[in-house]
Each structure stands twice: as structure tokens, then as C-alpha cells.
A and B are shown apart, each in its own frame.
Chain A
Amino acid sequence: MINVQHYLKYGFALVALIALLAGAPTVHAYVVNLAAAPRAIYLQVGTGGAVTGGGGTIQSGGVPSNSATVNEVSAIVPAASVGAGTQAMASNSPVANSIYDNFVFCAPATQIYVAGFLRSPVAGVAGTLSVASPANLTAGAGLNIAFNQISWVSGGNGDAVATIPSGTFVGGTTQTIYTANQNQWFESCLAFNYANTTVVAAGTYTGRVTYTLTSP
């Protein structure tokens, strides 16, 4: 047998339960999970691979391919001019147009086209464009020209201020020549010069520099 007190208890218990459920509604939502955009990095120095798709430019969605070409810059110094001051160097790179939008940007007879970008989803990340050069250009045993005799002037059609600064090879080390913003296209045209301040023996002096774009 149930007395009033028990009924009251059941009644309050039931009311309390309903109140509890009403006070804690289920929270509904649908969640779209996003994974970070991929990292990417690209550097072109001189002749690059073909840009395929998207109309043939980066701006129109094209994608550049790899290139194994190593371009040359050179200067022929007449005997009478050895040690007599700056000699402009010629380039064998045929690249005149920006691969970003096909804009006529460089003078291929004298300039080397340098371009690239860094894609990163991490805020504040930058790319480092560096160049490694040996201590000397050499023409055989004991025949050297210090690499710091080679410098470059940076430019590009329409650029009031060149993106990659002008500079001089340090020689025997890797030097940073430009810090690239993430998610921003960069490009410049580099024209090289031989300082020609020392008298050296006749010969063909060569040396290779390597440009690298890195990102943490």
C-alpha cells in the first residue's frame, strides 16, 4: 500500500527528472573538418621546365616541371683589358618572359631569370633564397680568380625596385640573397659582372654557383 508521502515523493522525483532533462538539452551541430593546405616550394634559375596546363602560365593555373639545365654566364676579357675594370657578362639563358604571366621581364642576352614561391600553411614562415659559391673560379692548378670578383645587378622590366637585391658573391660559402614571403610570387633578372681588378694568367676560368630556396 502506498501512502500520500510516497506518492508525493514519486511525483516530485518525476518532476525533478523532467526538469533535469529540460535543463540540459542535447547540443546539435555538424562539424566540417579541414586539413591544412599542403606545403610547396618552387625555384627557377635561368631555364625552367615547361609550364603545363592552365594556359601555360602560373597565373592561369599552370604547373611548372623540373629542368636539369644549368645555364652559363661568361665574359671574354681581351688581353689589353685584363685587370682594367668591370666586364659585363653574357648569359646563355633564353628566358625573357615571366612564367607567372608571360610578361616580357628579362633581357636574355645578359640576364638570368630567377623566380619562385613558397606555399606554407604556417603563419609567419618565410623562404630563404641562398647561393653557394666556391672560393675561386679556376683554370687549372694555381690559376684562380676569387669568386668575389663576380657581382650581379638585379632588375626586371617594370620593377622600380628589384625584388632580389643586387649583390656580390662572397666566395667559399653560402650566402642568403633574399627572404621570400610565404604565398607570394617573387622574380628578378640578374645581370652579372666581372670586376676584373686583378691581372691573371690567360685561361678559361670556371666555377659553379648553386641557388637554393629553403623553408622551415
Chain B
Amino acid sequence: MMNRRTFCLFSTLLAALLLVPITPTAAAPAPVSPTIELPARVDDTGTTFSTPTSQLRWRSFGPGRDRDNQVEASVRVALRLNLTAWVGKNIRLYQRMTNAGDSGSFHVSWRGQGRLLPGTLQGGGRVLVFEGVVKEAFLLESLDVNITGDGRNVAGFQALELYFEVDK
């Protein structure tokens, strides 16, 4: 039977064992490498836009003899992607657009300053924008984004939701 002092020592060791996996210390034999389930959305906190709302405009002032419902808009996006979790790792970074509402009828294309590949995608799709080793924790890029679509699908406002994800 343990005395009170022995019991306290044992309890301390037990607690330390329990806490090791979640509070690794320098004394731990091997650092715990967090695994991130893929695909993983990238934190884009700090991303800003040239304008909060982009005005859709008809592709031409007057339509053609065939129906012409096409509209377009553009916006400059100052991207700030937090890639801290992948520094030093070889990754594939994709841009994806959700398929919410009528966004499926819109095409989004973009061109950056060279840090990300240009591309085009539609609601529900994704496009590879970067493949390689992450060298810095934050990827800063300015994207000129152009949107085209059927103007009859936006009677009021439409929100297009895009995000970046790291995947295999």
C-alpha cells in the first residue's frame, strides 16, 4: 500500500504521462509532428478587395440580334494566405469556388503577379495555382479577378465564395 508521499509522486508521473502528447517539451524524445487532414483550407485572413462590391455590367451596351445575357465584373484581390503549417514542405495549392446559389453559372478567371498560376474556374470546380516547396509562412499575391456569367441570374446581389486548399 502506497503512503501519501509515494501516492503524490505517482500521481505527478501519471499526470505528466497524460499531458506529454498534448504539451510536448524540449525534453520529449521526438517532436510531435502535427498531421493535417487533406484537403485543408488555407487561412486567408487579411485578404482585402479593391472594392467591397463589384458592379456587374453588360458585356456590351446593346445586345446582339441573338440573345446576349453575358455580364462581367472585375475586382483586385490582395491575397494573404497563411501557409505556416506547410513551410518547408512540397505542396499543391488549389483555388476552389463553391457552388452556392447561382454561382455555378459564373466563370472566374484571374491573373496574379507570378506567385500563383493564372486560371479559370466555375462554381464547384478547383484549379491548381501553386505546386512546390513553401518557403515563407505567408504568401502575398495580388490577383486581378474577372467574372463573367449570365446576367439574368443576378437580380439583386450574388456572392461568389472562393478559397484555397492544400491537397495531394
Contact = CB atoms under 8 A, between A and B. Distances in A.
Interface stretch (A7-15, A79-87, A133-141, A196-204): A7-15
Contacts of B161: 29-31
Size category, B interface: 35 or more
Contacts of B47: 30
B155 interface: yes
Interface of A (DSSP majority class): loop
Interface of B (DSSP majority class): mixed
Contacts of B154: 34-37, 121
Contacts of B157: 33-36
Interface string B1-41: 00000011011101100110011000000000000000001
Interface stretch (B70-78, B113-121, B125-133): B70-78
Size category, A interface: 35 or more
Interface string A1-21: 111100110110011001000
Contact of B42 (A28, A35, A117, A185): A28
Given A18-B22, A37-B57, A37-B151, A185 B63 contact: yes
A33 B58 CA distance: 17
Contact of A119 (B10, B63, B155, B164): B63
B65 A29 contact: no
Contact of A30 (B15, B58, B73, B163): B163
Interface of B: 7-8, 10-12, 14-15, 18-19, 22-23, 41-45, 47, 49, 52-58, 60-69, 71, 73, 75, 77, 79, 98, 106, 108, 145, 147, 151-164
